[in-house]
Chains A and B, each alone.
Chain A
Amino acid sequence: MKIAGTAALPFPPERAYDLMQDPVLLAKAIPGCEALEKTGDNEYSLKMKMVLASLSGAFDGKVRLTEPERPHSFRMVVEGSGKIGFMKGDGVLRLTPKGDGGTEVAYDGEAQIGGTMAAVGNRMIDMTARMLIKRFFEKLSVE
């Protein structure tokens, strides 16, 4: 499934870029993130708990940040798996300065879902992905 969209951050690109490379802030911004630990260069292990409506599930996974082009773009890969299924998001984030001193972040990538989650509620996946992304940027923008 394709995931693409834009979000606005109220900081100039350099700062926006750095925020998104900062594991402490990422841990705060990734919805449901319970732990994010460095495991290698630009690679982190991730524990998250997703609670959405009555659905709830714990995921173990990793986050990788690659292809750094500060402050223009980088690639982010998030993977997780748990009892209710597994997911993988892989996309490029592009940062462009906006007139108001803020940054527009354009993301473009692919999401994969498997396991029980995949077979139920195709209709929910797109909406949920959008909401999680929205929350991520909302959290970042108050940093």
Chain B
Amino acid sequence: MIANAFDYTAPQSLDEALTLIGNGAKPLSGGMSLIPMMKLRLASPEHLVDLGRLKELSYIREQDGELHIGAAITYYELESSTLLLGKCPLIAETATHIGDIQVRNMGTLGGSVAHADPAADYPATLQALEAKIVLRSATGARTLSTKDFFLDTFTTALEPGEIVAEIIVPIEPGLTGTSYQKFRQPASGFAMVGIAARIRQQAGTLSLIRIGVTGLSGSSYRATNVEAALEGKQPTEENIRAASALVGDGVDASADLHASADYRQHLATIYTAKAIRAALSRSA
């Protein structure tokens, strides 16, 4: 459990970091995923550039009707941000489901997004929020939707030299309720399935339904068939169940020691209904 030798740089500025990363160095944020892999020598980067200390990546601010979150913001900062709790509670709530407090003190939103662990919590939430992901490199910046960013198991649209710089989430419109519900894998605490729900309820009718899913398969996704099945419907238990049952349709569910594909599918259905109910209970 000893890493191979590596160089470490704590850059003074984002520009310096981007230059180093452009030259092949690997970003380090909270280190909660990267360091364990290095200690097992499953990962052996030659040069680490520490983004976690950059003030330029550490902010949460409201701008042009949206919330901008720097990649180096930690889970603890997310869960305790009054700005987020007031204007986009789902993103704060999700942090409380992650690991233990030590992990939340270190792990970052940018790191989680870049890592794209198929059982990580934030991808589901960002899918449901239709977040935008801002990528930067020494030569420029681009903004992607979650759909275009999360490609597959541990695979994202990040190109060599690029980092996740910022996540943009919407300020929740009125009458919207959100919730993240997670069934933990008992050993790791990661999501066996995790469902983020975001729903608007007006005069007994549902609209703007967004369901983000993690854990069920190799990559997070938006369960658009669940969304469509509820659009314009009334929030009856029957409607919720019928729609939730669609969450894993056509999805190649994962299987491992902890859960078979069938069980995961089943949990996804149960937890989708749970998340929808909880979101509804929070929509004014």
Contact = CB atoms under 8 A, between A and B. Distances in A.
Interface residues of A, number: 22
Interface string A102-143: 000000000000001100101111111011001000000000
A120 B45 contact: no
Interface of B: 26, 33-34, 37-38, 40-45, 115-119, 152-155, 185, 188, 190, 217-218, 252, 254-258
A123 B34 contact: no
B46 to A, nearest CB: 11
A86 B257 CA distance: 20
A127 B153 contact: yes
A114 to B, nearest CB: 14
Interface of A is mostly: helix
Nearest to B259: A123
Interface of A: 5, 52-57, 83-84, 116-117, 120, 122-128, 130-131, 134
B190 A123 contact: yes
A5 B257 CA distance: 19
Contacts of A126: 254-256
A55 B154 CA distance: 10
Interface of B is mostly: loop
B33 A53 contact: yes
A59 to B, nearest CB: 13
Contacts of A122: 256-258
Most chain B CB inside 10 Å of its own CB: which residue of A53, A84, A122, A125? A53
Given A123-B119, A125-B256, A128-B153, A56 B43 contact: yes
Contacts, number: 69
Given A116-B42, A131-B218, A53 B154 contact: yes
Contacts of B117: 53
11 contacts: A52-B153, A54-B37, A54-B42, A54-B45, A55-B37, A55-B154, A122-B258, A123-B258, A126-B254, A127-B254, A131-B218
A123 B256 contact: yes
Given A55-B42, A130-B218, A131-B155, 17 more contacts: A53-B115, A53-B154, A54-B26, A54-B34, A54-B45, A116-B40, A116-B41, A116-B42, A123-B190, A123-B258, A125-B256, A126-B254, A126-B256, A128-B153, A130-B153, A131-B153, A134-B152
A5 B255 CA distance: 13
